[in-house]
Amino acid sequence: MKTYLALCCTVLFCLSFAQAQQTDSEAMNYTPKKGDFTGAVLFGRGNFLDNINVPDSPSSNPLWTVDGAAPFANTLNANNNNIGNIAGGEARYFIKDNIALKAGLGFIQRNTPAVDNIQRFFFDDNDNIVDGNDPSAVVESWIPNYSAVNENQVSQFYLTIGGEYHFKSKISNRISPYVGVNLNYYSARTLEYDPTVIFFGTESEPDFTTIDIEERTAKLYGAGYQFTGGIDFYLFQGLYCGFEVRPMTFIYARGEQLPSQGMVVRESSTTTWAFFTQTHFKIGFRI
């Protein structure tokens, strides 16, 4: 992915240079003006906050525990930044030649519905329920156990709104440096449920146990702000690439873990300050 991006950028810069040789660049209007829209794809570290852990199922464990994991602002981890990762998109509207309003968002929704298990068991000589197939029966009569499909629901959402102030470059009319501020909101929700039912006991007094009592959930909510700075280079009148750094970020994140409906919610929170830990490369267009 990195190779393709580098190749695309090289080709675009070469085309841009060729166009510059054929036209009067100083006379052309490259940077956006009042009333223009721009849209861009962002590359770099993602903007979603990872959710906290869903509590484990009881599974007949008398030491059933809800862990104390707190939210972690993974978007601000300086390690393993990858320019090959598509981090989302953004749109800008210029209310003045040098002032733009900005918005970006992302949403993920996954849903796996639960399917009950089918337990294979037989009765031994004492009428006890024994899990599995009767080893004395012929293999052709055996029937497998069918494991349950665990219910799993995952949703993640982020919204960014902000503003940018663009400066007029003294170097080239293709360059548009800017500073700005972002207001961010994050949310995540994960639900898990294991519908497995296990039978035991005897033929005359059968009994059963379950892995889960009810659905287990984990939720995360976060909000914060960022100062931004960057530079856009317009390859053509309608196409640009840019680089943006976020020199300061603040995020407050709150987590909630619920082991079963009606139980006490385990709450936790984390406050994060970060400096120069999130950067983005972008390729965009102007309308």
What pLDDT, on the 0 to 100 scale, is given for residue 15? 46
* pTM listed for this prediction: 0.79
Q: What are phi and psi of 63, to 5 degrees?
A: -100, 30
Q: Is the dihedral of CA 68, 73, 79, 81 positive or negative?
A: positive
What pLDDT, on the 0 to 100 scale, is given for residue 81? 59
For residue range 2-49, what is the model confidence (pLDDT) as tens digits?
444 443 454 444 444 444 444 445 557 789 999 999 999 988 877 778
pLDDT band, residue 237 (cuts 50/70/90): confident
Task: Examine the pLDDT at 1 and tell me if it is beyond 50.
Answer: no
CB contact at 8 A, 39 and 282: no
Task: Examine the pLDDT at 247 and tell me if it is beyond 50.
Answer: yes
What pLDDT, on the 0 to 100 scale, is given for residue 164? 97
User: Cα 222 from chain centroid?
Assistant: 13
Partner residues linked to 257 by β-bridges:
218, 266
CB contact at 8 A, 44 and 82: yes
Mean pLDDT, residues 213-241? 93
User: Cα 180 from chain centroid?
Assistant: 24
Both tokens of 145, joined, read: 């156990």
Mean pLDDT, residues 155-172? 92
* pLDDT: which is higher, 17 or 144: 144
Neighbours of 166 (CB within 10 A): 22
pLDDT band, residue 111 (cuts 50/70/90): very high
Neighbours of 54 (CB within 10 A): 23
What pLDDT, on the 0 to 100 scale, is given for residue 62? 80
CA 132, CA 17: separation in Å to the nearest integer?
A: 73
pLDDT band, residue 86 (cuts 50/70/90): confident
Tell me 253's DSSP state: E
The most distant pair of C-alpha atoms in the chain lies apart, rounded to whole Å, by 97
* pLDDT: which is higher, 52 or 91: 91
For residue range 112-131, what is the model confidence (pLDDT) as tens digits?
999 999 999 889 888 899 98
- Indicate the range of 15-24, 159-168, 240-249 predicted with least confidence: 15-24
pLDDT band, residue 281 (cuts 50/70/90): very high
What pLDDT, on the 0 to 100 scale, is given for residue 73? 72
pLDDT band, residue 82 (cuts 50/70/90): low
Q: Helix H segments across the chain?
A: 2-22
Domains delineated in the chain: 2-120+142-196+212-286 (2.40.160.20)
CB contact at 8 A, 104 and 91: yes
Task: Examine the pLDDT at 197 and tell me if it is beyond 60.
Answer: yes
